[in-house]
Structure 1
């Protein structure tokens, strides 16, 4: 039995180019200790090219918009990328399974919602949820137990505030997102203090990994029970942390 399904195939809401959205983990959960094994993952990908090719050509703008972590394309190669997602791993595997091997059935948004009834869902394990129509997310998430979503496109897509946190990479971002009514998830430098009403991500090593994303349920925008904002110190591979520090210094 397939471990997922396609729930959207069509134009990106960001730039109109062809994308595909795939949910995985319906039969076998993730091994990611932070997010938790019970979380349905969703992958937003260019349908017509691999995620590796998209990143190295700049065509990932269709699924990532103007996210500052995308890096810069120089002579067909991406440099200075601070995104934590390693595209030649899970995103490439999912893309091949969906587009090259046709391993996942295609479900309508309503059918997809029934398939994840009572489950916890992450919007955009790779890719920005803004690329997928808001009405598709509304149908998919109609009866889930929890959701976790993050968008760097919060300035353009206010309807996502019900399901997503505004991804913020500076104090100025945080202030602007709060002024527009968003709950926020802010990546900060170790030298930066928490803002009022912010807490450290409870699933992070920084907080002692007190819980997992599927159990925490805080990052679901305005439809989550939580009302606090979330923050985390930049972490992960040294190259990614250094790229983030350079981004902030620019």
Structure 2
């Protein structure tokens, strides 16, 4: 039987605000062309009823992004262009392109593959058990959450706590999380506790996420936590935020 390239993994209320959301996986049959992540199954967490670019403009993206300071509604520095891949996936979902599968089927479908938990959206918006089933037989995975203060703590097994300052990194690690910290170029890397992301520009793009596999929560082999310099077109807004200056679009 031919594998579908995309499937609906879950539909239900967001754990963040109760609004209807959907989790979709793509890149199952076709390899991903993302140079930074490498070949990984991509997962998308979106509102069922609102296109992602409209959700971003109205603030309804809180259903899948929670209190993330990088949300554009907060003047943040999120690099995801929601009118591109997320909108394409959402439109295909609206057209009924993707079949629905059960978590047990996802375990088999993703066996031996690398999986990106949350190519768009925060995985903590959906149930932990869903993600645990998805990675059950996977080769590995990456995932991040800004909801580490309030979400089901079992997510620490699978996800990295997204930290936006040295203090946040220290706090999250004290709570039992491994962290993925965004920094400015002049901020230091904590000795022993942190290392420079090897898939970053500052590390010379030594590898990709699929090969590194360090961002898999406490279940990853890596014990220290990666850091990366804010990058992309919106990095300036992060620099302003870290400097305590007004952040504007």
Please give the alpha-carbon distance, in whole angstroms, between the structure 2 residues aligned to 1:247 and 1:52.
Answer: 24
Q: What is the aligned partner in structure 2 of residue 9 from structure 1? A: 11
Please give the alpha-carbon distance, in whole angstroms, between the structure 2 residues aligned to 1:125 and 1:50.
Answer: 16
Please give the alpha-carbon distance, in whole angstroms, between the structure 1 residues aligned to 2:115 and 2:55.
Answer: 25
Please give the alpha-carbon distance, in whole angstroms, between the structure 2 residues aligned to 1:72 and 1:22.
Answer: 24
5+ residue gaps, structure 2, are 245-249
1:1-250 equivalent positions in 2, closer than 5 A: 2-36=4-38, 38-72=39-73, 80-98=75-93, 100-157=94-151, 158-196=153-191, 197-237=193-233, 240-250=234-244
Counterpart secondary structure, 1:144: coil
Please give the alpha-carbon distance, in whole angstroms, between the structure 2 residues aligned to 1:109 and 1:247.
Answer: 39
Counterpart secondary structure, 1:204: coil
TM-score, normalised relative to structure 1: 0.93
Counterpart secondary structure, 2:173: helix
Please give the alpha-carbon distance, in whole angstroms, between the structure 2 residues aligned to 1:96 and 1:113.
Answer: 26
Please give the alpha-carbon distance, in whole angstroms, between the structure 1 residues aligned to 2:32 and 2:201.
Answer: 18
Alignment deviations for residues 130-168 of structure 1 (CA, whole Å, 9 cap, x no partner): 001001111111111111000000011221100010000
**Quick check: 2:112–2:137 contact (8 Å CA) kept in 1?**
yes
Q: What is the aligned partner in structure 1 of residue 247 from structure 2? A: none
**Quick check: 1:2–1:103 contact (8 Å CA) kept in 2?**
no
How many matched pairs? 240
Counterpart secondary structure, 1:49: coil
Please give the alpha-carbon distance, in whole angstroms, between the structure 2 residues aligned to 1:64 and 1:114.
Answer: 28
Please give the alpha-carbon distance, in whole angstroms, between the structure 1 residues aligned to 2:199 and 2:170.
Answer: 24
Please give the alpha-carbon distance, in whole angstroms, between the structure 1 residues aligned to 2:29 and 2:241.
Answer: 39
Please give the alpha-carbon distance, in whole angstroms, between the structure 2 residues aligned to 1:102 and 1:2.
Answer: 13
Please give the alpha-carbon distance, in whole angstroms, between the structure 1 residues aligned to 2:36 and 2:6.
Answer: 21
**Quick check: 1:218–1:226 contact (8 Å CA) kept in 2?**
yes
5+ residue gaps, structure 1, are 74-79
Give the aligned CA root-mean-square deviation in angstroms: 1.1
**Quick check: 2:56–2:73 contact (8 Å CA) kept in 1?**
no
Please give the alpha-carbon distance, in whole angstroms, between the structure 2 residues aligned to 1:217 and 1:83.
Answer: 22
TM-score, normalised relative to structure 2: 0.94
Please give the alpha-carbon distance, in whole angstroms, between the structure 2 residues aligned to 1:81 and 1:191.
Answer: 20
